[in-house]
Each structure stands twice: as C-alpha cells, then as structure tokens.
Amino acid sequence: MIEIDGSIASGGGQVLRTAVGLAAVTGKPCKVFNIRAKRRNPGLREQQLQAVKSVSRLCRGKLIGAEIGSREIEFEPGVISEKEVTVRIATAGSVGLVLQALMIAASVAEVKIRIEGGGTYGKWAPPVAYIDKVLGNFLKEMGYEFDVKILKEGFFPKGGAEVEVCTRPASWKPVEILKRGGVLNIGGVSAASLSLKEKKIAERQVDASQKILYEYFKTLPSVETSYSPTLCPGSGLQLWMDTESLLRIGESSVGELGRRAEEVGREAARRLIREYEGGGVDSHAADQLLPYLALAGGRIKVNGVTDHCRANIFVIEKFLPVKFKVEEKIIEVVRAE
C-alpha cells in the first residue's frame, strides 16, 4: 500500500487524481490522506469524488472512504477491462479535472468515456478544449492518441456539460521540447451559451483577442465560434499557438456575470503572450504532462517549476521506477537505479 500525504506542496486535488490514475495503470494500491488539506473546503468535492469513482469502475477496483468531505481514501485497483465508463457530475465541477485522473488510467486501453454534467470551462481548472487541443497535441507526439467531442458546453453555476472522450492504448515514445521557435499560427475556440448568440458574445471575445495578438505577433489568429444550449448562461475562450519546435502553447479565460466579452478576449490574449515569452511549455501543461513524461521518457523546458509540478513529481516517483531531474526550467525523466 503506497501512502501519500495529500497536503504536500499546494495541497490540492491533483495529488489525488495523479495517485489514483497511476494506481490503476500500475496495479499498485494506495492510500491518500489529508486530501485537499490546504483548500478552504478540504476533503473530496464532487469533481474529485467522481474522478476516483470512475477510475475505480474502469478497473473494477475497491474503493474505501469515497464520499463528499472525506479526507482519506484507500484504493485497490483491479485490471482495466471496461470498454466504457459513464461519469455523472451533479454540480458545475470541472470536467477537465475529472479527465485528468481518467485519462492517465485509460492510456493503457481502448476506452469510451462519457461525462454528463459539470463544467467545460471554470476558474482554476483546464477547459476541455485545452485538454483536446493543447494537451492532446503533446500526448500525440508522445504516442497517446484520443478523440474529444464536446456535445454540450457546461458553465457555472449549473454545469450540465456533455463530453465524450475515446482513448486508444498508448505506444509511448520519448519527447524532447527544449526550444520555442517562431510562431507558425494561432488558433482557438470561443464558446458561449445559445442564449447569448444575439449579443454576439463569442464573436466579441474573438475580436478583442485578435486585436491584441495581431498587434504583438503580426499574425491573425483563426478562432472558431460555437454556441450551445446550456443550463445557464456562460462563455469561455481557449487560445493556442503552434511554434517551430512543435511546441503548442495554450491559454484561456472564462466569462462571468457582469463581465464584458471584450475583457474575456483581452485576458486570454495577454495570458497567451506571457506564456509565449516564458520560452517553454505553458504553465498548465508543465504539471499535467509529468505523469505521461514519466511513462514515455524525455525532457521538457517549462516556464516555471510550480508547486503543482513538485506535487506531481512526488506522487509519480512513488508509483513508477523513475526519478525527475530538475535543473532551472528543464525537467528530465531518468530511470531510477
């Protein structure tokens, strides 16, 4: 039984998601305590609860202590044999965060994941479009391919998203991303509720972001707009940029009640510029890539080694025979002796 203190580093839910995902991949049982200890409302919330339950169903595991508010769980994984798993999120909890755990586990199998409920955009969580267009771009280079379909967007406070992800078993290959290179193109997707179409919220987000990005890069971004019937009004903008080194950088912004669409567009554009100026893998991909980097091998340059990175490194080294070598902004996987 691998025991992990969930309060390490930033003390968030990522420790739990990585641990449960890798437990399913390796077959090693784990106990995670002090779950989300440093958060204002510690313990399991809806999105963490559904993440661990769905991974357990995927591998027919045994799960103890999985309930709202629980600060400790034990997980004994079985064999990943399910071909389909359905996740139901009762709140606007992040679909992207649920997928973080599930997609680690599903990397060894052909699985159809269907998520009903939750949010496709939200504060402090990766949009589903980011997982699809940015993280997915990296993972394809590493030998892990999957398809994402956003059937219905979900926004705070009601959620109500519908998302399907189909994974294929990974054929891991090392990746090396150390240089940024020049900008090849800029893309994105601007999503909003159908009820906001008359106000052209999605288009206004795009226009505001394009002005800033064209002024900086002299490249006109190609950003799609989409409207979806949702349980409550909301919007989000996900941008990404391809560079000569095959590095894709992503950033986003989320609409809120009383916030103008133009502010959402400008914020996403300025964030993307900051990430580009950092010269490495964007700050969101940096920690999300680490479990896959450990499985595939290689090294990446990041814009900063965050607490999320350190927490993930701690957890990954518990499950896999690897060590991470961190020198300034370079993170490299080496096999443990």
Separation of alpha carbons 87 and 116, rounded Å: 6
Dist CA 194 CA 108 (whole Å): 37
Two tokens at 336? 């443990």
CA–CA distances in Å: residue 11 to residues 97, 109, 334 = 15, 30, 26
Q: What are phi and psi of 148, to 5 degrees?
A: -120, 130
The residue annotated as part of the active site, out of 36, 45, 180, 308, is: 308
Q: Which residues pair with 300 in a beta bridge?
A: 177, 331
Sheet holding 30-33, edge to edge: 2-5, 30-33, 72-76, 62-64
Q: Give the chain's radius of gyration (CA, Å).
A: 19
What is d(CA 173, CA 314) in angstroms, rounded to the nearest whole number? 23
Contact 203, 190 (CB under 8 A): yes
DSSP characters for 294-328?
HHH-EEEEBS---HHHHHHHHHHHHHSSEEEEEET
Respond yes or no: is residue 308 known to be catalytic. Answer: yes
Where do we find the tokens 């090392």? 174
Tokens of 107: 């990397």
Lookup: tokens for 241: 């940029």
Contact between residue 208 and residue 264 where contact means Cβ atoms under 8 Å apart: yes
Q: Could you tell me which residues come within 8 angstroms of residue 40 by beta carbon, excluding any fewer than 6 positions away?
A: none
176 φ, ψ (degrees, to nearest 5): -135, 115
Could you give the residue numbers annotated as active site?
308
